[in-house]
Chains A and B, each alone.
Chain A
Amino acid sequence: MKLIIAIIQPHRLDAVREHLTGIDIAGLTVTEVRGYGRQKGHTEIYRGAEYQIAFLPKIKLEIAVPDGRVDDVVQAITAGSRTGKIGDGKIFVLELEQALRVRTGETGDNAL
């Protein structure tokens, strides 16, 4: 199993969800997070003074999937989140040791 963590633009969340439900991904956790990439945030101007906004609002997705589905999911997230502009985000794929479905006690791929 793999855990896919994706950091995306908040306004792309709906598009990503549509792509993921389109390929029958049954579970998804979403968190509002803040972060910066290579541009290190941005600046805003209030009353002529520049303010450095170090952390921009982002959405973090966490999806646990069987090994065989990783490529599909990564593709779906990319399709939903890509605008071609800076700040489109990143996808990280991690090894996942165990999963357990609390109600039934199922484990591994069956729990997902």
Chain B
Amino acid sequence: MINSGDTAWIISATALVLLMTLPALALFYGGLVQAKNILSVLVQCFAVACVASVLWFACGYSLAFSGSGPWIGDLNAALLANVTRSAPHPGTAIPESVYVMFEMAFAIITPALIIGAYVERIKFEAVLLISALWLLIVYVPVAHWVWGGGWLAARGVMDFAGGIVVHVTAGVSALVIAAMLGARHEFPHGIRPPHAPWMVMVGASLLWVGWFGFNAGSALSAGGDAGMALLATHLAAATATLVWMAIEWIKFGKPSLVGAVTGTIAGLACITPASGYVGPLAAVLLGVTASAVCFTAVLLVKRVVQVDDALDVLGVHGVGGAIGSLLLPFLTLLGGGVTLARPVMAQFAVQAIAVMVVGAWSAVATFAITKLAAWTVGLRVDLETETQGLDFAAHGETGYHVNR
């Protein structure tokens, strides 16, 4: 039976999740790059969204959510052939069409998150090829393992809205691509600062609102779980913002806007897997942890690992999603949390296995995909194109026609 309240909420949530990519993530990333590369980032986000949509229709949805083999689904729903008007998605009271579309918005944002790793130097052909292959080889199987009845679902893994499926996969893969692609030629000392911090803030704000759909929509119904996820999401974001600001204020003497909104996103990534399972106090604690750990992770990647993950996809998204996934069993014990199906340490073990195996699969598969792209279309633009900026060199357009 289709429930109109549930359906109305998930349709709304779907719109919010699409908003997270177009334009929220595009603006968040676009403001962080140099003015000469702004359009390349926007068009990458736009194109990846469309590639993912068409692949989701072709076979992505089917391989993730049709069939219940341990590793991968089947092709019974390829071309969305079996999506009828009236049937609800199993286990929910929303139409199959709405479920397909809600999940599609997740399949859109996940490869788009990786864009942050390779901006300002990648070939557009490589963006398209890597994103397409990555969706089918990394995202689709992992979504099946965790949400589609695969082997991690069978073990009882808890990932409410995608800390593992979205943020660990994207974060780990981002680091691998960034390492294989090589750093921007000015890295690390000559890199130019974000060209439009205000745009980063607009993007982060839209992401914050969109995340209500991402997390509260993942309840797949309009009830108590959605409500608690909404509350937890907001509190984690607000707390993480304040903590990141405080860290910068103490360490550098000034609290920056870019830092504050980076904290917001770290908090949101961190609460994602836990959002529907924990209560308000747990969300605040996760917010504190998110900024403390992600701030350190961002510095480690830049200074110690020295990989030019340009916009900190691993440090903010990957690490945020992983710590939320690992801590959530303990945090359910605080007020407002769900009752675990197994002892807390046993649940933690499942979470740890999931994070490690998904991280490992993301790394290995992304390595292979990137190699393939390197052999076929090539990965990097030449130095002259990179210096001139991708906007004009690769897309024939200029972001700002101002007289200066």
Contacts and interface: CB of A to CB of B under 8 A. Distances in A.
B252 A47 contact: no
A51 B262 CA distance: 17
Contacts of B188: 49
A51 B252 CA distance: 13
B177 to A, nearest CB: 19
A52 B186 CA distance: 12
Contacts of B258: 46-47
Interface residues of A, number: 10
A47 B404 contact: no
Q: Looking at A32, A46, A51, A53, which has the most chain B CB atoms within 10 Å of its CB? A: A46
B224 interface: no
Interface in A31-50: 32, 44-49
B192 interface: yes
B193 A53 contact: yes
Contacts of B190: 52
A82 B207 CA distance: 44
Contacts of B192: 51
B299 interface: yes
A95 to B, nearest CB: 29
Nearest to B404: A32
Contact of B191 (A32, A45, A49): A49
Contacts of A46: 193-194, 197, 256, 258-259
A51 B298 contact: no
B191 A47 contact: no
A48 B302 contact: yes
B295 interface: yes
Q: Is the interface of A mostly helix, strand, loop or mixed?
A: strand
A48 B194 contact: no
Contacts of B85: none
Interface string A39-79: 00000111111011100000000000000000000000000
B144 to A, nearest CB: 34
Contact of A45 (B252, B262, B295, B298): B252
B328 to A, nearest CB: 26
B342 interface: no
A27 to B, nearest CB: 21
Contacts of A45: 248, 252, 254, 256
B391 interface: no
B189 interface: yes
A48 B193 contact: no
B96 interface: no
Contacts of A44: 193
A29 to B, nearest CB: 15
B193 A47 contact: no
Interface of A: 32, 44-49, 51-53
11 contacts: A32-B404, A44-B193, A45-B252, A46-B258, A47-B298, A47-B312, A48-B248, A48-B251, A48-B299, A51-B191, A52-B190
Closest 7 CB pairs of A and B: A51-B193, A48-B299, A46-B258, A45-B252, A47-B298, A46-B193, A44-B193
Given A49-B302, A52-B190, 17 more contacts: A32-B404, A45-B248, A45-B252, A45-B254, A45-B256, A46-B194, A46-B197, A46-B258, A46-B259, A47-B259, A48-B295, A48-B298, A48-B299, A49-B191, A51-B191, A51-B193, A52-B189
Interface of B: 188-194, 197, 248, 251-252, 254, 256, 258-259, 262, 295, 298-299, 302, 312, 404
